[in-house]
Structure 1
Amino acid sequence: MMNMRERYGPWALVAGASEGTGAAFARRLAAEGFDLILIARREAPLRDLADELRRNHGVACVTGSIDLSQADAADRMIALAGERDVGLLILNAGADPNGASFLDGALADWETLIARNVMTTMRACHRFAGPMRARGRGGIMLVGSGACYGGLPGISAYAGSKAFDLVFGEGLWAELKPFGVDVLNLILGRTDTPAHRELMERMGRPFPTDCASADDVAALGLARLPHGPICNWGLADDEGGYAGASAATRRARILQIAAAMAGQEA
C-alpha cells in the first residue's frame, strides 16, 4: 500500500489556498510531506501560510497570486508549476460572494463566477490530468457544494456552476479511473470559513451554528479521494439524504453505463 505522498505526490497544487478549507488542505498535506503550490488572489495570506508550512513541516512551498476568474488562470497555474511533478490537484476556490438573486446582481458578476467555477476548473483539469494519466497515478479533487443537486433561489448561477462541476467530475472519474488517477467531488454543506462569515455579515444574517469545520472537511476529502467520484459531507456513502441519490448509487450507475458503452465499442 502506498502512502498518500507516494500515491499523489510529490507536489500538490491547492487553488483557493489563502484561507478556510484551502488552507486546511494545505496544512494537512504539508503534514504528510507534500511540497505545495499554493494559489489564491491575495498574496499576503499565501506568503504567511507558506512560511508557516515551511517552518512547521520543512516542505517546499511555491505561491502564486492568480485570479481564477481570468481566462489565462489555468495557463498561469501551469507556468507556476513548471517542471514540478504535480500529482494532486485540489480546486477549492468557488464560493458565491454575491449574495443576490440573479436579476438583482450584475451580469458581469455572474460571468466572473461561471468563469472561475466552470471554465478554469475545466481548463486546469485538462492541463494537469494529462501528465497524471501518462504516469499512471494522481488525484484531482473538485470542492463543490450541496447546491449542485438542485436550483435554489438566490444562488441560481452558483448552483448551476456547481452542478456542472459535479457531472463533469463524475465523467472525469470514469475516464481516468482505468489509468490510476482518482477524481473526487467533495460536496460540502455549510462550512465555517472566513468567506462564509463575511457573506452572512454583509447580508445581515446570523452565522449558522451547525457549520462544519474547515479542518474536518479537509480530512474527509483526503480520506475519501481514492473512493470517488462523490463524497457528500454529513452523509454515509450509501445514504441519499439531501443529495437525493447516494454517492454509492451514482457511482454504480456511472460504472454500469461505462461498461455498457465499452461493450458497444467492442
Structure 2
Amino acid sequence: MAVSKQKAGKILKQCLFAGLIFIIVIPVLFPLYFVLISSFKNMAQVYIMPPKLFGFKPILDNYIYIFKTQHYGTYMLNSTIVAVASTALSLLMGVPAAYAIARYKMGKVSIAILTARLLPNISILLPYYFVFSKLRMIDTYGALIISHMILSLPLIVWIMVGFFNDMPVELEEAAIVDGCTRQKCFVDVLLPISAPGLVTCSTLSFLGSWNNFQFALILSGEKTRTLPVSLQYFVSGADIRWGRMLAATIVVIVPTIILTMILQKYIIQGMTAGAVKG
C-alpha cells in the first residue's frame, strides 16, 4: 500500500512538472509557430480573424517571391560572410588577449573591456560612420566585419578570461618542463581544454553578428545588405506585406535555431564552466 502511494505521488509530481513546463514553453513557442504558419499563407488568409492555426492549405508563394524577386540568396551570403569572418577574427584576437589578461592578472584591462561591452551600440555607431566614410569603406564587407568585431571581441575576452583563470598554472609548467614553448603550450594544451568556451564564444559572436541590425543598416548598402536590414523593405506607407515579411523572418531565424540546437550541449558547458569548483 505504501509503495502504491509512493508511486502515485511520483506520478503526480511528474504531471505537475510537465504542466509547469507546458505553461512556460507555450508562450515562448507560440509566437514562433504563428510566424511559421503565417509565412505559408496568402494575404487574405493572414488577415482572417480569428486566425486559422490549423486546417489551411499552405503555399510557397512568399518564399518563392523573396528568393526570386528580393534576392534573399545574396542577403544570406552577405550575412554568412560577415558573421563568419567577424567571428573568426574576433577569436583570433580575443582568445590570446584573454589568456594574457588571465595569466598576468590585468584586472583593470578586464574591467575596461567589460565597460566597452556595456556601451550602447548606437553610441559608437556615429563615429564608425564618419571613420568609414572618410576611408570610403561604406557598403563594404570590411566595414561590417570590423564593426561587428568591436561588439564581439569584449564578449569573447570576458568569457575566455574566466576559462583561463580556472586552468591550473601547473598544467602549463608541466608542458614547459617537457619542452613546450609558451606559444606551443597555449595552442596544443590550453585551447583543446577550453573547447566548450571557444564554442560558446563562437556561437554567441556569430548570432550577434547574424542578427545585428543597427550597424548593417547604416554601414551596408546594395552590395553588402544583410538579412535583418532586408526585413524593413516589406513595410511601405500603403501597407505591410505580412506573408512575405514573415517568410523572410523565418529565413533569418531558422539558421540560428539550427546552430543553437546543434551546439546546445557545448554552449551549456561553456556558460556553466567554473560555476562549481570541486
TM-score (norm 2): 0.22
Q: Tell me which of the two structures has the higher relative contact order, counting C-alpha pairs closer than 8 angstroms and 6 or more residues apart.
A: 2
**Larger helix share, 1 or 2:** 2
**Larger strand share, 1 or 2:** 1
Larger radius of gyration: 2
